[in-house]
Chains A and B, each alone.
Chain A
Amino acid sequence: MTGADQPAELVLRDVRKAFDGYIAVDRCSLSLAKGEVVAILGPSGCGKSTLLNLIAGFEEPDFGDVALRGEIINKVPPNRRNVAMVFQNYALFPHMTVAENIAYGLKARRVSKAELQTRVAGAVALLKLTGFEDRFPAQLSGGQRQRVAVARAIVVDPDVLLLDEAFSALDRNLRDQMQLELSLLLRRLSVTTVIVTHDQQEAFTLADRIAIMKEGRIVQVGPPKEVYRNPADSYVLRFLGRANSLPGVVVQHEGRRCVQVGEGLVVAHDLPAEGEVSVNVRAEDVVISLVPTAAHRHSPARVVLVTSLGAQQRVVLRLDDLQVVAEIPTASIADWDSLHRNAGVYVDLRPGSFIVDQRSSA
């Protein structure tokens, strides 16, 4: 689902929002098809929460439009939008029981009592909260609280569901489990969802498409795999996964334009760049071999540290005076003993996997 083949459910068109001269969201455009799950991913302060607040109606755009089902809702107050949000710390009402919390949105919508009870019971069952209906939020575990927050949001049958860092308060195992459960639930209910997170795993687990934000702008949108494999720029590359940023210089080598990293590593690079550059490459795209290849003029790198990540091994290397981190599948090397500390190995970068930025020669 890319949103092109179906009428858009939620559209952000050239949206801009500034606070006291500081531009939080800068001309963002995004379009979601019905049932699509999009994750907005970025570091804290990149404007992703503001974007969510614009959709929820807590903020009004200075410029541009927010449209829901073809209707511009810029000035519609939050309580008149059929948009439900799961807040970062869930924002459950402490004085209401689980059932009362879940019923809140239905009461505000003046749903009849019989229907309200049916729908609350349905949401309770769907989120496995049976037996906890009469508890107060303070009597629940973190995972249960999150379930209540999700139940409270989806029970109103929202046009758009918003998740604001909804998993950050959970510990790792619970987070993995809840992400998986929620992912299945969102598919089942086919609810249009916008997720805001700084957690790559959360975005990749839940989203059909991810939008990477940087300093108020959306720099790349696409399915997770595509964004991961073809990052638009070095920022996206560095943001997703573990990356090295290595200084290099552009040189001519055997008639080709190449980049030399450190003293001995030369990699082909045909795109325009001159002088001093940075080479951005993911740890998994750093290749290690015990014998030199064409890329190496001389001087092997030295192994500094090998850490096991389970299926992967993280190898920290010293290439001349640079530190390079490589992550290689455990199964790909038969003889790990040869990669002992101070062992000499040859480092290469997988062709086409790295992005070269011009470094300002200041």
Chain B
Amino acid sequence: MRALRPWLWLLPAGCIVVPLFFLPTAMMVRNSVYRDDPVRFIVPDFTFVNYFTVLSDPYYLRVFGNSLWLATLVALIALVMAYPFAHLITRVSDRTRLMLLWVLCLPLYVSIIMRVFGWIIIIGDLGLLNQLLMKIGIVAKPVRILFEFEGMVVGMLHRYFPLMVLPLLASMQKIDPVLLRSASNLGAGRLRTWYSIILPLTIPGAVAGTQLVFAGVLSDYVIPMLMGSTRFPVTAPTIFLEAATNASWAKAGAMGIVLLGIVLAINVVAGVWIGRAAPWTRRT
């Protein structure tokens, strides 16, 4: 009894995680090895045919490829945007820092629907951006951004940028300012200080942020549905389509497991890579 006591603290969280996450995941794993049947819905045959289809059919491969490309692009843009932003936050006064952090986290507080409406006003066919471009005379007719790949990228960035900045900021704030003084004292200018001290010391934060953004983008359903295009199908909406419209729960399950596998693999690779690129983090 005494030995079990520490585990009691897990009970509240377990009450949520077990029935709402582990159980559905287990059911999905089970579904993925069943067979879809036009008449009887899913039939409990043990088969890997769904995985075979999902991993060989050009359509599904393209869907996974699209998702990976989108996630890579969004993570890369977010990373490039996050560095100066995080750097700024570490340098301003406490008051400004609070304000910047609040602005950063604002998208997390606002409903996704509200945000999409906001983007319609800005990047819609008749939005502010297009009106401006046409007024200046750069384009003759509106550039289509929303409901295209580009619009989806914008929406994803807006949604996942905080997840990139926060871990990066945490690792940047951990850098002892005296290290920067020390670099300067030894003759390093700003540029050298940045790439020889700040950049390597923030690798763990940057990787953590990239992992979060990657996982988020790969499994995002709402943004592709509200801001993307069906000409560029990505994984989560496709899974929903298979399950809800095509009633192919087994195939949808297999896709879900493959996606889960991709995210897990990325995390493992990233962990190994941190150990290689930042060896000081593993040996202490």
With A89-B178, A95-B201 as known contacts, state yes or no: A79 contacts B187, CB within 8 Å: yes
A residues less than 8 Å from B196 (CB atoms) = 104
B residues less than 8 Å from A94 (CB atoms) = 179, 201, 280
In the assembled complex, A136 has its CB within 8 A of some CB on chain B: yes
Judging by beta carbons under 8 Å apart, are A156 and B181 in contact? no
A residues less than 8 Å from B188 (CB atoms) = 79, 104, 108
In the complex, how many angstroms separate the beta carbon of A78 from the nearest chain B beta carbon? 5
0/1 per residue, A149-169, Cβ < 8 Å to B? 000100010000000000000
B residues less than 8 Å from A78 (CB atoms) = 181, 184-185
In the complex, how many angstroms separate the beta carbon of A306 from the nearest chain B beta carbon? 45
In the assembled complex, A83 has its CB within 8 A of some CB on chain B: yes
Judging by beta carbons under 8 Å apart, are B280 and A156 in contact? no
In the assembled complex, A109 has its CB within 8 A of some CB on chain B: yes
How far does the alpha carbon of A123 sit from the alpha carbon of B62 in the complex, in Å? Answer: 58
In the complex, how many angstroms separate the beta carbon of A38 from the nearest chain B beta carbon? 19
How far does the alpha carbon of A152 sit from the alpha carbon of B255 in the complex, in Å? Answer: 55
Q: Which of B184, B186, B189, B283 contacts A156 (CB 8 A)?
A: B186
State the majority secondary structure of interface residues on A.
Answer: mixed
Interface size on A, residues (CB 8 A): 24
Interface residues on B, range: 20 to 34
B residues less than 8 Å from A152 (CB atoms) = 186
Interface positions, chain B 235-284, Cβ under 8 Å from A, are 278-280, 283-284
In the assembled complex, B118 has its CB within 8 A of some CB on chain A: no
Judging by beta carbons under 8 Å apart, are B187 and A108 in contact? yes
0/1 per residue, A72-97, Cβ < 8 Å to B? 00000111100111010101011100
B residues less than 8 Å from A105 (CB atoms) = 186-187
The 3 nearest A-B residue pairs measured at CB: A108-B187, A105-B186, A91-B182
Q: Which residues of B contact A (CB under 8 A)?
A: 176, 178-179, 181-189, 192, 196-197, 200-201, 278-280, 283-284
18 A-B residue pairings within 8 Å (CB atoms) = A58-B181, A77-B184, A78-B181, A78-B184, A78-B185, A79-B184, A79-B185, A79-B186, A84-B185, A94-B201, A94-B280, A95-B200, A95-B201, A104-B196, A108-B189, A108-B192, A152-B186, A156-B186
